[in-house]
Amino acid sequence: MQSLESLLSIPVTNAIENLFGSKIDPSTILFSNTNPQFEGDITLVVFPYVKLAGKGPEQTGQIIGDFLKNSVTEIESYNVVKGFLNLVFTDDFWKEQFKEIVKDDTFGIKKLVPSAPLVMVEYSSPNTNKPLHLGHVRNNLLGYSVSQILKADGNNVMMVNLVNDRGIHICKSMLAWQKWGNGETPELSGLKGDHLVGKYYVEFDKHYKSQIESLKSSGKSAEEAEKNAPLILEAQEMLQKWEAGDTEVKELWSKMNGWVYDGFAKTYEKLGVEFDKIYYESNTYILGKEIIEEGLKKNVFVKRADGAVIIDLTAEKLDEKVLLRSDGTSVYMTQDLGTAVERHKEFPFEKLVYTVGNEQDYHFKVLKMCLEKLGYDWAKGLYHLSYGMVELPEGKMKSREGTVVDADDLIEKMENDALELSEQKGLVEGMSETEKAALSHMIGMAALKYFILKVDPKKKMLFDPKESIDLHGNTGPFIQYTHARIRSIWKKSELKEIPQLDLSVAIHPKEKELIKHLFGFPKSIADAAKELSPALIANFTYELAKTFNQFYDVCPVLKEENGALRDFRLALSISVARTIKSAFNMLGIDVPERM
């Protein structure tokens, strides 16, 4: 199905050549959405042609408008507002477009071309020293949704996770468990494995801070105290032993990471995210060290007097970056270099999207530059999907430790709030406890996911659980309710399949508006894929649901006496439901059949 832009590009090109004697590149034609204050289905920006016409913007628009109305049978009328030519298409044109939409169960979704280049999307990337938190929630939802949108746009997509399963952070948890754990396990404590390990990370921090204060009171500076506290020295020694392959340290590391992986898996399942492959830093940091040796030989990297390896990017205004510590242990950059090279060797991607918060902007600029300077041409395809932090209104919710908001706690709260709402609104009457729990999870996750994904990824955001769970306004539950409402209408119609359409029926302006919105679905997917922004899909879906409800308020469906018009409206309604479901699939959100 052609977009309005593609349908008009040749006629506009012909108009400029015939009217003004100038040839233009169709790709330079500027279209925009028509201002809601004016009538029009699409707007042509005519300012670029004013000099060619030798007339003012409004006269230029009138001349082009006349030409298009006479040459394009689908154009019914036009109006000009300053330098903007608003074009109105006939009702028959829109009915024909709807006829094509109805035929396609997967309208808007492009089929995967086997030869399509690979796009790899990395998201989640947790540390194994603590549970997933609110920041990870936005990360996972963004990464998963971007992957689904890219797939819907016809891309070959691979979803990957890099688990930061080694380093000083996990050594802190391991050391604290050794000292104060008394053999505690997830089974004995009743805690999820990631929560148990996180508990000992907090325990380490508590004792470490106490040692720092003790050293400061004995005359040490804050910096000296932080570097020489016995606990941090022990943790650093444990990291060195780990990298040296110490059997006892490795066994403890393997056991505690196993607990964390079990915990993560449960949280991922609740969030409804998944991965095609999981990489582990413990497997890639060694390759990273080899790449650093390669960089030293090529004089891309430099070894300092203290033994640390750096890259000097002062000429690129990125300063000096440490790639390997003076004691020979790895930093994040070490393993990221190794992981990128290993991934491309295993799966030659055209593009690799890193879904990571904006506090790591500098890190990914350096990573890309390191790989480019090492001669890896594919590094041009590295892209950092940098997103803003997400916070909760102060005092609304606290985590177990009182610092960051735990993902499991947040999910549980959303499910409880959804159940409370469902009971208040009578949405769960006659349901079993199992059905209530399933619906509450579905609504709670829709509230959480939609509220987060409707915001431009680049923006910092405030997540308000109470506002997100509302059945009115720009929320996930409102859109779910619209879908359930349509499914209820369809069920009452007792139709088994979409009826044949009679295109001779006269359509209401609200029906035309709804068809126009459906027609825009493929472009919304393409735009969202290009921008890597689920917010474009989220807000498209909200506008679709809102437009449907406006249509339903003025256009009877089941009570319509004209059979042909009734069938047309039923087909239109079910097409909206189908599109809501497709759009929400891209956001990782399920839709209920009843609410």
Segment holding 564, helix H or strand E: helix 563-586
Q: How confident is the model at residue 399 (pLDDT cuts 50, 70, 90)?
A: very low
- Residue pair 138/390 in contact (Cβ under 8 Å)? The answer is yes
Residue owning tokens 């199992």: 434
- 520-546 residues labelled b (16+ CB within 10 A) or e (exposed): bbbebbbbbbeebbbbbbbbbbbebbb
Q: Does domain 4-89 have CATH number 3.30.1360.70?
A: yes
* Percentage of residues in the chain having pLDDT higher than 70: 98
SS3 358: helix
**Mean predicted confidence (pLDDT) in 388-392:** 87
pLDDT, one tens digit per residue, over 494-521 is 999 999 999 999 999 999 999 999 999 9
CA distance 174 to 236: 12
The sheet that has 302-303: what strands, in order across it?
A: 302-303, 309-313, 319-324
C-alpha span between 25 and 34 (Å, rounded): 23
538, 587 in Cβ contact below 8 A? yes
- Strand arrangement, sheet containing 75-81: 31-32, 42-45, 84-89, 75-81
Structure tokens at 325: 């510590």
Q: How far apart are CA 512 and CA 499, in angstroms?
A: 19
Classify residue 51 by burial, with Cβ atoms within 10 Å: 0-12, 13-18, 19+. exposed
Residue 331 is predicted with a pLDDT of: 87
pLDDT at 397: 47
Model confidence at 378: pLDDT above 60: yes
85 has which bridge partners? 44, 80
CA–CA gap between residue 89 and residue 43 (Å, rounded): 11
Instruction: Write the CATH number of the domain with boundaries 407-586.
Output: 1.10.730.10
The Cα 136–Cα 100 span in angstroms is 41
Centre a 10 Å sphere on the Cβ of residue 315 and count the other Cβ atoms it contains: 6
pLDDT of residue 401: 47
pLDDT-based confidence at residue 255 (cuts at 50, 70, 90): very high
Contact (CB, 8 A) for 12 and 25: no
For the stretch 265-285, pLDDT in tens is 999 999 999 999 999 999 888
Percentage of residues of the chain with pLDDT beyond 90: 91
Scored b (16 or more CB within 10 A) or e, 356-381 reads bbbebeebbbbbbbbbebbebebbeb
Between the alpha carbon of residue 277 and those of residues 121, 157, 288, 347, the distances in Å are 11, 12, 19, 11
Is residue 41 predicted with pLDDT exceeding 80?
A: yes
Mean pLDDT calculated for residue range 92-117: 94
Asked if pLDDT for residue 561 goes beyond 70, the answer is yes
Strand 390-391 to 382-387 pairing: unpaired
Please give the pLDDT value at position 400.
Answer: 45
What is the C-alpha to C-alpha distance for residues 77 and 38, in angstroms, rounded to an integer? Answer: 13
Beta bridge partner(s), residue 391: 462
pLDDT, tens digit, for every residue of 63-76?
Answer: 999 999 999 999 99
Whole-model pTM: value is 0.93
Q: Across residues 156-179, what is the average pLDDT?
A: 95
**DSSP string across 135-187:** HHHHHHHHHHHHHHHHHHTT-EEEEEEEEB--SHHHHHHHHHHHHH-TT--HH
DSSP result, 476-520: HHHHHHHHHHHHHHHHHHT-SSPPPP-TTS---HHHHHHHHHHHT
Q: Point out the least confidently predicted range of 80-84, 156-160, 367-371, 460-464.
A: 460-464
What average pLDDT does the chain have? 94
| Sequence ranges of the domains in the chain | 4-89, 407-586
Residue 495's alpha-carbon distances to 491, 561, 566, 569, in angstroms, are: 7, 16, 12, 13
3-state SS assignment for residue 16: helix
| pLDDT of 578 | 97
Q: Which tokens sit at 522?
A: 């493929």
CA distance 336 to 230: 30
Buried b (16+ CB within 10 A) or exposed e, 471-493: beebbbbbbbbbbbbbbebbeeb
Report pLDDT digits (tens) over 330-377: 888 998 999 999 999 999 999 999 999 999 999 999 999 999 999 999
pLDDT tens digits along 169-224: 999 999 999 999 999 999 999 999 999 999 999 999 999 999 999 999 999 999 99
Q: Which residues have CB under 8 Å from 89's CB, separation 6+?
A: 4, 41, 74, 75, 76
Q: Are 535 and 453 in contact (CB under 8 A)?
A: yes
CA dist 363 and 366 (Å) reads 5
Classified as helix, coil or strand, 195 is: helix
Query: 403: pLDDT confidence band, cut at 50, 70 and 90?
Result: low
Within 330-432, where are the H helices? 332-346, 361-373, 407-424
The better pLDDT of the pair 114, 237 is held by 237
Report the distance separating Cα 434 and Cα 429, nearest Å. 13
